[in-house]
Amino acid sequence: MNENENQKIMGKISSINGSVIKVIGFSHQSIGDMVNVSEELNIIGEIIKILDNIAVIQCYEETLGLKLNAIVTNLQYPLSMELGPGLLNSIYDGIQRPLDYIAEITGDFISRGMKVNALDREKKWKFIPSVKNGEVVREGDIIGYVQEYALRHEIMVPQGISGTITGISEGNFNIIEKICSIKNKNKIYNQKILSKWPIRIPRPYHKRMMPDQPLITGTRVFDLLFPVARGGVVAVPGGFGTGKTDLQHSLAKLADAAVIVYIGCGERGNEMADLLNSFPKLVDPKNNHPLMERTIMIANTSNMPVSAREASIFSGITMAEYFRDMGKNVLLLADSTSRWAEALRELSGRLEEMPTEGGYPAYLATRLANFYERAGLIEIIGNPKRIGSITIIGAVSPGGGDFSEPVTTNTKRFVKAFWALDPNLAYARHYPSVNWSNSYSLYDNLAEFWEENIHKGWEEYRKAINYILSREGELSSIAKLIGPENLPPEQQLIIYTADLIKEGFLIQNGFNDNDRYSSPKKTMKLIGLFLKFYNESLSLIKKNIPFFRFKELEVINSIRRARLDVNNDNLDELELLDLMLSRDLLQIHRQYAELL
């Protein structure tokens, strides 16, 4: 240690421009090295370029008050995440500093120069081994676990280590104590619970697999019309006021995943406060634990340093990969990737790089790919054989709501589902404001899983709704010209059914206890009602029964309200509505059968 002290690599600041500084005099340096800037302020920075032996550094904190010629120390390790138990139920800034702990030290406002560990070093965890002394393990193997809330937090052999286990036993350890040794020839590796991983390098895996299972979100429009697979990638673009953040919040609360990583990247402080207030109170219905206990939050609000915002999404994905490697299904929500791209643009501008479209650097697409490509359904390295997944749902905030801007178009290249939010729907308070004609999902291979494991008819229903909604799109413009009453009855039925589907199925009210989460069964039964109404009415209309009779059906109002009135546990009520609908349609049929 002492030797290291003497070999401190130091330089001096030769230029300060916003969060970018230049340093002269490092005897040794490489891209990605962390540095400590100024012995007075202790700001953290990262070397991002080296020009003629001058290090170009982005600082993760405000540089106001920093002095020319101040001393900078090269710490010679890359920006890394601390990985281990204690991650869940935490809230970090963009470079994994625990914000609640910082608040204890510096109070209500964030001051500079805070050096704090991401994970608690004191807390003891009960380690339960799953291998025995004398067993041979290799990298990625699980050697035991600690229980972190409801999650079995597996402890894995780090990359590049293999050998024979010695000295393993059950016991209470903090994360930096030795839990066992791994002996390989003459080398002995002391395994701890804590591990570290640099954020810019993806964690290696054994094999990538084709995502073929749905990630159930509990939001009808997604589960049925625009599904996402476990391990899939979705972009959610929308101008301001279209409900992106509310949508991300509701996914974080309701989606079916073992771990949620929520990245509030350059967004509003009050929204993070909302999440932090509500999450500890909300309960995960699957295990009755508070939702916060499956969640890691990264809050780098818009007024926090811009370089840390750039790092935040890579910090988040690194933590997600760690849980994936345990064989968990992880959902990563990034709100918003546009703010991240803007941080990239700001730094690029300070580096005086040649800009491309919209001022963004030419490597925008590469960086986006670096991030999105870390999602996937993955076969993990090591024993026991396990499969984990990371699903990314990234919000995009296109300037002026214009989807042709660079971040949206480049993001589109790397995602397979696109949930386009529409301001006109939002104006009409149609939430989630997902536009059904601009959105798409290429995860149509999920049909098989749905049919076999969840509910029959998924594919068929999708086709039917798509038909009705797209026909309505065409017809409504004609209806506006000549008045809906003057269309042929079949077409009036389409417009009418489409309106029913929008009001009674696509809209979902986050404030209604019955409607907030729609179980796959409820979703399917509900849409079944609307399609039954459509199909049977259509066949009756073809027998010349006038259209207005169907509009007068009283059961329609109950069906329209069913999403609000029927609880997920009480789907018999939908069966009842189904019977009532059959009865009423039959009645119409009978009345007219006598007449015709």
Partner 1 sequence: MSIIYKNLTTVKDPLLYLKPIKHHNIKNGSMVRIKTEDGIRTGQVLSVSREIVVIQVIEGTFGIGVGTAETEISFLDETFEIGVSREMIGRRFNGMGIPIDGGDPILPEEMRKIDGEPINPTRRAYPKDVIQTGISLFDGLNTLIRGQKLPIFTGQGLPHNKLIAQIVNNAKVRSNEPFVTIFCGIGILAESALYFQQKFEERGTTRLISFINLASDPTIERLIVPKIALTTAEFLAYKHDMHVLIVLSDMTSYAEALREVSNIKGEIPARKGFPGYMYSDLASIYERAGRIRGRKGSITQIPVVTMPNDDISHPIPDLTGYITEGQVVLSRDYHQRGIFPPIYPLASLSRLMKDAIGEGSTREDHSDVASQLYAAYNKFLQIKELESIIGSDSITLVDKKYLKFGSLFEEYFANQGETERSFEDTLNIAWNILSPLGAGELIRIKKEYIKKYFVKRR
Site for partner 1 in 97-116 (CB under 8 A): 99-100, 102-103, 106-111
Q: Using CB under 8 A, which of the segments 341-349, 364-372, 381-389, 414-422 binds partner 1?
A: 341-349
For residues 302 and 539, give the distance between their C-alpha atoms in angstroms, rounded to a whole number.
56
Q: Count residues contacting partner 1 (CB under 8 A)?
A: 72
160 contacts partner 1 (rule: CB under 8 A) = no
Here the contacts of 176-182 (C-beta below 8 Å, separation 24 or greater) are 176/121, 179/127, 179/129, 179/143, 179/144, 179/155, 180/129, 180/143, 182/137, 182/157
Nearer to partner 1, 171 or 488 (CB): 488
Per-residue contact flags (x/-) with partner 1 for residues 26 to 45, judged by CB under 8 A: --------------------
Q: Using CB under 8 A, which of the segments 116-124, 168-176, 264-272, 530-538 binds partner 1?
A: 264-272
For residues 204 and 382, give the distance between their C-alpha atoms in angstroms, rounded to a whole number.
11
The least distance separating partner 1 from the CB of residue 140, rounded to whole angstroms, comes to 34
| Window 224 to 243, contacts with partner 1 (CB under 8 A) | 239-241
Nearer to partner 1, 168 or 247 (CB): 247
Q: With the C-alpha atoms ordered 90, 296, 240, 250, is the resulting torsion angle positive or negative?
A: negative
2 contacts partner 1 (rule: CB under 8 A) = no
| Window 303 to 332, contacts with partner 1 (CB under 8 A) | 303-304, 306
Helix (H) or strand (E) run with residue 370 in it? helix 364-372
Q: Kindly tell me which residue out of 171, 204, 285, 358 binds partner 1, with binding defined by CB under 8 A.
A: 358
Nearer to partner 1, 511 or 595 (CB): 511
Nearer to partner 1, 32 or 399 (CB): 399
Taking phi over 0 as left and psi of -120 to 50 as alpha, with beta for the rest, 483 belongs to: left
Strands 259-265 and 329-335: parallel
| Window 281 to 300, contacts with partner 1 (CB under 8 A) | 299
R_g of the chain, CA atoms, integer Å: 28
Strands 163-166 and 136-137: antiparallel
Copy the structure tokens of residue 147: 């229980």
| Window 365 to 394, contacts with partner 1 (CB under 8 A) | none
Nearer to partner 1, 171 or 358 (CB): 358
For residues 418 and 238, give the distance between their C-alpha atoms in angstroms, rounded to a whole number.
11
410 contacts partner 1 (rule: CB under 8 A) = no
49 contacts partner 1 (rule: CB under 8 A) = no
The least distance separating partner 1 from the CB of residue 177, rounded to whole angstroms, comes to 29
For residues 521 and 560, give the distance between their C-alpha atoms in angstroms, rounded to a whole number.
17
Beta bridge partners of 54: 51
Q: Kindly tell me which residue out of 171, 285, 359, 473 binds partner 1, with binding defined by CB under 8 A.
A: 359
For residues 439 and 524, give the distance between their C-alpha atoms in angstroms, rounded to a whole number.
20
Strands 178-184 and 163-166: antiparallel
- Residues contacting residue 83 through CB under 8 Å, at least 6 positions apart: 194, 195, 196, 197, 318, 319, 322
Nearer to partner 1, 240 or 592 (CB): 240
The least distance separating partner 1 from the CB of residue 513, rounded to whole angstroms, comes to 13
Q: Kindly tell me which residue out of 37, 180, 272, 368 binds partner 1, with binding defined by CB under 8 A.
A: 272
The least distance separating partner 1 from the CB of residue 39, rounded to whole angstroms, comes to 12
Q: Kindly tell me which residue out of 73, 219, 301, 491 binds partner 1, with binding defined by CB under 8 A.
A: 301
185 contacts partner 1 (rule: CB under 8 A) = no
Nearer to partner 1, 160 or 483 (CB): 483
Nearer to partner 1, 198 or 239 (CB): 239
504 contacts partner 1 (rule: CB under 8 A) = no
Q: Kindly tell me which residue out of 9, 10, 18, 454 binds partner 1, with binding defined by CB under 8 A.
A: 18
For residues 526 and 559, give the distance between their C-alpha atoms in angstroms, rounded to a whole number.
8
352 contacts partner 1 (rule: CB under 8 A) = yes
Residue type, 440: Y
Selection from 520, 480, 427 nearest residue 219 by Cα: 520
Copy the structure tokens of residue 45: 């920075």
Residue type, 501: I
Q: Kindly tell me which residue out of 171, 269, 285, 473 binds partner 1, with binding defined by CB under 8 A.
A: 269
The least distance separating partner 1 from the CB of residue 261, rounded to whole angstroms, comes to 16
Beta strands in 301-385 (DSSP E): 329-335, 376-379
399 contacts partner 1 (rule: CB under 8 A) = yes
**Spatial contact of 13 and 41, defined as CB atoms under 8 Å apart:** no
397 contacts partner 1 (rule: CB under 8 A) = yes
Helix (H) or strand (E) run with residue 51 in it? strand 43-51
Q: Kindly tell me which residue out of 7, 15, 169, 466 binds partner 1, with binding defined by CB under 8 A.
A: 15
Half-sphere exposure of 230 toward its Cβ, with a 13 Å CA cutoff?
23
Q: Kindly tell me which residue out of 223, 321, 346, 472 binds partner 1, with binding defined by CB under 8 A.
A: 346
The least distance separating partner 1 from the CB of residue 7, rounded to whole angstroms, comes to 25
For residues 231 and 375, give the distance between their C-alpha atoms in angstroms, rounded to a whole number.
6
569 contacts partner 1 (rule: CB under 8 A) = no
